[in-house]
Chains A and B, each alone.
Chain A
């Protein structure tokens, strides 16, 4: 009997223990749940904060410089910097070509012996022939080949003070780029846009660009080969 009671009490105790354990587990689980909740909240907040502060581009919202240029130039109102003070002394003239308006140097005043008719009063149709004596002894034509060009491709024997187009239309010396552009169409496009040729003095508007004949001698337009302006002897030493 005694054994039975003991067994019974043991059994009871076990049930009690199990209950207690269940309860503790429940409490533990709820605590764990709370803990998880808190942790996930914390992690969430940390992530949000990190995403705000850790972005490398925190000062700028653009990832590409092209995006930035596009965005910032939308409401471009110009700047206070102009090229005027650099161009004051120059003899420039405004031209409008293909939607681009800019300044180029005036040409006629720069040609030493202009106007041509001051000397050339004769009919110049003679120089068309090969045997004719060369005028302007220092000028040799190194521009395209003989089949393509001679003096009279550009100069007008009947009206010396102007140039002429391939179809015989008059072209002013000041606008000689119209003559070049007859063949050099690509260069002409690039020049109008600003990809070919040099700008004068300043990057700021108003734009002033050199015209064809400011860099190219029309009678010998290609650049000559020469030695570089610098040679770095120190670099040789350092790299030995």
Chain B
């Protein structure tokens, strides 16, 4: 257990320091090796959220509750890991599953813990599919606050952005999930989402129409974050609102709280054809999701934190999309904000979206 100060959320009510867990006992009863649940000694084991759960002092009732839940997972893991018949890969996978089950909230992890969980996920994917991934846990850069601008007079409704987004972010192909919506609006009726068509299929741009794109606006005062009962979604220091897919319980409060229809829910198990999987992934971004969790646009966190433009910006053939660092006074996004007539949707709600619209 870490000697560091308790994190603010800690359940540890007593000040007793627990002894690190190399007592060596596990489900298999052996003192070392063999069963796969023993951590190898040469690798310094990062302190993970495991301790957030296991180190907590609690009353008997709560303890039993937690035990029942974990027993179900544990039973599966141990039966595989101690089995003589199952192979090493299966045992390792069981070990990974076990550790993943007890990891903490990503937001509260140290950089080492983040790296450890990413490594586990990559390894787990490798065992399952014999395919390698490149997953990152890159943190926010200081002096960066991401912002976005959308030129209404330039968008022609080609939907190249939507297509690029789906491919980049490994969105579910079965339910045809899309983060971006392009709304076709009639000239002279203003921005009227009630009358707009966001699923047109005819030659574009259509006569007498204009196009407005929406997606997650990465509000600076995000209502979705406020309502999450388990703090599985939060605003990163660089302004990106993210979801920890492994911490989300799927209650969809955030979906209801979002005034912009920015969030999507996985009603079924997301499927992406193996050859179409984008292997450049980020834990908080486009890694493969599971059934029953929320997801949404992350400004392509796997790209933007690396310096690249999001996939939609890159795909747009008309240059209607501008992306950049709001804190850099010389950035193009700042020029747009300072020199064009910009507005945001539902500004009166006080959500402070970091997504501006402008016209030529």
Contact = CB atoms under 8 A, between A and B. Distances in A.
Asked whether A and B interact, the reply is yes
Interface of A: 57, 64-66, 68-69, 72-73, 76-83, 85-86, 186-187, 190, 193-199, 201-205, 207, 210, 215, 223, 225-236
A77 B160 contact: no
A72 B326 CA distance: 9
B314 to A, nearest CB: 8
- Among A77, A79, A207, A210, the one with the most B-chain Cβ atoms within 10 Å of its Cβ is A79
B199 A236 contact: yes
Contacts of B162: 229-230
B326 A73 contact: yes
5 nearest interchain CB pairs?
A194-B332, A234-B176, A193-B335, A65-B220, A228-B159
A195 B332 CA distance: 7
Contacts of A72: 145, 327
A229 B328 contact: no
B308 A194 contact: no
B352 interface: yes
B319 A80 contact: no
B335 A195 contact: yes
Contacts of B326: 69, 73
B64 interface: no
Contacts of B340: 190, 195
Nearest to B218: A65
A76 B327 contact: yes
A226 B322 contact: no
B358 interface: yes
Nearest to A203: B324
Interface of B: 141-145, 147, 149, 151, 154, 156-160, 162-163, 166, 174-176, 178, 182, 198-205, 220-221, 304-309, 313-314, 316-319, 322-337, 339-340, 352, 354, 358, 360
A203 B154 CA distance: 20
A232 B324 CA distance: 30
Interface of A is mostly: loop
A234 B199 CA distance: 10
8 contacts: A79-B142, A194-B333, A201-B314, A203-B307, A205-B328, A215-B319, A229-B163, A230-B159
B327 A232 contact: no
A196 B360 contact: yes
A229 B360 CA distance: 25
A99 to B, nearest CB: 10
- Among A66, A82, A86, A228, the one with the most B-chain Cβ atoms within 10 Å of its Cβ is A228
B276 to A, nearest CB: 15
B325 A204 contact: yes
A231 B329 CA distance: 39
B338 to A, nearest CB: 9
Contacts of B142: 79
Contacts of B144: 79, 81
A198 B318 CA distance: 8
A230 B163 contact: yes
A43 B142 CA distance: 42
A78 B328 contact: yes
A228 B308 CA distance: 25
Contact of B307 (A73, A204, A226, A233): A204
B319 A231 contact: no
Contact of B309 (A57, A201, A232): A201
B307 A195 contact: no
B220 A83 contact: no
A225 B327 contact: no
A15 to B, nearest CB: 64
Nearest to A190: B360
A238 to B, nearest CB: 9
B205 A203 contact: no
B159 A69 contact: no
B142 to A, nearest CB: 7
A123 B331 CA distance: 47
B176 A235 contact: yes
B212 to A, nearest CB: 15
Given A198-B316, A230-B159, A81 B176 contact: no
Given A194-B333, A226-B158, A80 B316 contact: no
B307 A234 contact: no
Contacts of B203: 225-227
B267 to A, nearest CB: 10
A234 B323 CA distance: 30
A203 B323 contact: yes
A186 B340 CA distance: 12
B34 to A, nearest CB: 46
Contacts of A223: 156, 317-318
A81 B199 contact: no
A151 to B, nearest CB: 27
Contacts of A231: 199, 201
Contacts of B198: 235
A164 to B, nearest CB: 27
A195 B141 contact: no
A201 to B, nearest CB: 6
A237 to B, nearest CB: 9
A9 B169 CA distance: 100
A229 B160 contact: yes
Given A79-B142, A223-B156, A228-B200, A195 B309 contact: no
Nearest to A57: B221
Nearest to B174: A234
Contacts of A225: 156, 203-205
Contacts of B352: 64-65
